[in-house]
């Protein structure tokens, strides 16, 4: 039988990575083991080896054709990992690039990953803006709340098309300020 593949997405700064890691830790205590794969990290390693970027926040500024070539290579690598374990792919439904929203899971990526569940982690534009301002470890784009909300809307549209193309279910999880534990619980139930 095929291992479960869950794709966790959210706009930069919504806390998708934190949420995923906490949910995975909790499931370990129940004897349920997922391997977490960060799509951006796999892409960064490929792009860095080709001397295309120096940090992960430069990836989305590369020309779209280059991004898609690296994306495809990353998807193939991740599909290999999914042969061994159930996996969670920490990624983005769409990536906001200077040339427009780039689909995080175009059909050739879906064909490799064959996801069972797509999770959208969301909160309000205001909360995301504040979280980005507080994170100095990354080169976050300075965006208005309206623009962040547009991005979340596009992410929903894209995620549902991924569902339509694959049969994957699409789950929206709210990650509100000070309510991280509720979001972790909800993700745990989705992954169980
Ligand atoms: P992250 O650390 O999750 O913000 O990912 C770093 C960068 O990796 C993003 O800003 C994107 O440029 C790239 N990335 C991650 N996932 C994808 C994807 N599915 N398709 C294209 N680019 C991606
Ligand atoms: Mg992240």
pLDDT for residue 1 = 72
Q: Is 59 in the pocket of ligand 1 (CB under 6 A)?
A: yes
Q: In what order do the strands lie in the sheet with 169-174?
A: 35-38, 87-91, 5-9, 117-122, 169-174
Q: Where are the beta strands (DSSP E) in 29-176?
A: 35-38, 87-91, 94-97, 100-103, 117-122, 169-174
Ligand 1 atom closest to Cα of residue 109: 19
CA 19 to centroid of ligand 1, rounded, Å: 17
**Element of type H or E holding 79:** helix 64-82
pLDDT for residue 153 = 98
Q: Tokens 């430069």 — which residue?
A: 58
Q: Is 12 in the pocket of ligand 1 (CB under 6 A)?
A: yes
pLDDT for residue 114 = 98
pLDDT for residue 120 = 99
Is residue 99 a contact partner of residue 123, using CB atoms and an 8 Å limit?
Answer: no
- Shortest-distance Cα residue to atom 23 of ligand 1: 40
The domains located in the chain, with CATH, are 5-37+84-191 (3.40.50.300)
Q: Which of 151, 73, 85 minimizes the C-alpha distance to 109? A: 73
What's the pLDDT tens digit per position in 96-111? 999 999 999 999 999 9
CA 162 to centroid of ligand 1, rounded, Å: 17
Q: Is 95 in the pocket of ligand 1 (CB under 6 A)?
A: yes
Q: What is the pTM of this model?
A: 0.98
Q: Is 92 in the pocket of ligand 1 (CB under 6 A)?
A: yes
* Substitution site in 56, 58, 141 for ligand 1 pocket (most atoms within 8 Å of beta carbon): 56
Ligand 1 atom closest to Cα of residue 75: 19
pLDDT in tens, the chain (192 residues): 789 999 999 999 999 999 999 999 999 999 999 999 999 999 999 999 999 999 999 999 999 999 999 999 999 999 999 999 999 999 999 999 999 999 999 999 999 999 999 999 999 999 999 999 999 999 888 899 999 999 999 999 999 999 999 999 999 999 999 999 999 999 999 999
- Shortest-distance Cα residue to atom 15 of ligand 1: 40
Q: How far is CA 43 from CA 52, 53, 102, 143, 152, in A?
A: 11, 10, 14, 24, 22
3-state DSSP assignment of residue 56: helix
- Residue 122's DSSP bridge partners are 174
- Looking at all shown ligands, the one closest to residue 113's CA atom is 1
Residue 129, Cα to own-chain centre: how many angstroms? 18
Is residue 11 a contact partner of residue 151, using CB atoms and an 8 Å limit?
Answer: yes
CA 172 to centroid of ligand 2, rounded, Å: 16
């Amino acid at each position: 039988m095929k291992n479960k593949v869950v794709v966790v997405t959210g706009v930069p700064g919504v806390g998708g990575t934190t949420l995923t890691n906490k949910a995975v830790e909790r499931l370990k205590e129940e004897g349920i083991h997922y391997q977490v794969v960060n799509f951006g990290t796999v892409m960064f390693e490929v792009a860095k080896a080709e001397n295309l970027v120096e940090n992960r926040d430069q990836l989305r500024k590369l020309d779209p054709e280059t991004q898609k070539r690296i994306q495809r290579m990353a998807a193939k690598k991740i599909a290999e990992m999914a042969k061994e374990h159930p996996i969670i792919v920490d990624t983005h439904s769409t990536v906001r690039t200077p040339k427009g929203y780039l689909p995080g899971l175009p059909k050739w990526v879906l064909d490799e990953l064959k996801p069972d569940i797509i999770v959208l982690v969301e909160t309000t534009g205001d909360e995301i803006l504040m979280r980005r301002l507080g994170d100095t470890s990354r080169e976050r784009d300075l965006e208005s709340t309206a623009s962040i909300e547009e991005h979340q809307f596009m992410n929903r549209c894209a995620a549902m098309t991924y569902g339509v193309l694959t049969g994957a279910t699409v789950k929206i999880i709210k990650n509100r300020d000070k309510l991280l534990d509720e979001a972790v619980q909800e993700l745990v139930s989705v992954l169980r």
